[in-house]
Amino acid sequence: MSVCPHDLIEKSDVLNGAGYYPVRSTETALYKCTACGLCWQMCPDSALEVYKEVKETGS
């Protein structure tokens, strides 16, 4: 969670099936995430996917 430069990851308050509190994105993550990938690189279980929206240019 601390690896996110924009503080967009938080611990969930709901246990998962393995008995852990997984991380989740904050409400503002959709608008502030830069898709740097640090969270993905640091996740020990590779449980995150990072997508970056590509803006199409007009012809």
Question: Using an 8 Å Cβ cutoff, are 23 and 13 in contact?
Answer: no
Task: Report DSSP state, residue 14.
Answer: S
Q: Is the pLDDT of residue 59 over 70?
A: no
Which is more confident, 13 or 27?
A: 13
Helix extents (H) in the chain? 29-32, 38-42
**Domain spans in the chain, listed from the N-terminal domain onward:** 9-41
First to last CA, the chain: 41
Report pLDDT digits (tens) over 14-58: 998 989 888 888 888 778 888 898 988 888 777 778 888 788 877
pLDDT of residue 26: 87
pLDDT of residue 52: 80
Residue 48 and residue 44: Cα distance in Å, rounded?
10
Its pTM stands at: 0.67
Which run of H or E residues covers position 23? strand 23-25
